[in-house]
Each structure stands twice: as structure tokens, then as C-alpha cells.
Amino acid sequence: VQLQASGGGSVQPGGSLRLSCTASGSVVSIGAMGWYRQAPGKDREVVARISSDKSTYYIDSVKGRFTISSDSAMRTGFLQMNSLKPEDTAVYYCNALIMEMPMTPLITYWGQGTQVTVSS
């Protein structure tokens, strides 16, 4: 199983970026997908999560600006980031709880990080 993240980049404050994360390989189902970020000198923090029932969670600092979604099969997740602020600058990681074989426990996978830089 692999998680492939893409979509990072550099934008000015107020700009937008859309991150994508695609799961490939032996995937029976995905229980949840999430985006985390880690800024220099800080701990990794959850930004947003979406569950298989499409319920979502956001940290307070991104509510109203970021939107997490997925395709119907929940093989690709998206994080639409609008009204970006300098404090959103970080390496963003996608994460998923994946069932590889039927009737087996969900396993946590991480994608590679993608840099998001918000600066004027």
C-alpha cells in the first residue's frame, strides 16, 4: 500500500492550494483519511480528517478556510486550502486507516510530506 500526496507549493497570503492524496496497492477499504502538518520546531498536528461516513473534523485554526473531501470510493482525498495565512506554512502529510485484506484490522499509513509555504 502506498499513499501519494501532491499539490503543495508556494503562495501569497490569501491564496489557495489543493492537496491530493491517493491510496494504491492492496486496499479493501479505508476507514478514514486525514491531513497533518508539521511546522519547523513544532509537533505534527492534525489539520482535518474525513471518515468513511464522510463526517469531518477540523482544527479551529482552519475552520471556514480548509475543506477536506474524498472521492466516492475514498481512494483519493483532497484538502482545499483557501485564504492561506503565513502560519499555515508547514510540511503537510496525508494519513489513512487502511484495511488491506478482508476482515483484518485497519493499519495506519502515511504519505510523503508536501511543502506548503505561504509568504509575501
Please tell me the distance from the alpha carbon of residue 18 to that of residue 79, in angstroms, as a whole number. Answer: 6
Structure confidence at residue 68 (pLDDT): 98
Mean pLDDT of the chain: 96
Buried b (16+ CB within 10 A) or exposed e, 59-94: eeebeeebbbebeeebbbbbbebeebeeebbbbbbb
Q: Kindly report, residue by residue over 42-55, the tens digit of the pLDDT.
A: 999 999 999 999 99
Structure confidence at residue 73 (pLDDT): 86
Q: Kindly report, residue by residue over 85-116, the tens digit of the pLDDT.
A: 999 999 999 999 999 999 999 999 999 999 99
Structure confidence at residue 88 (pLDDT): 98
pLDDT higher than 90, residue 59:
yes
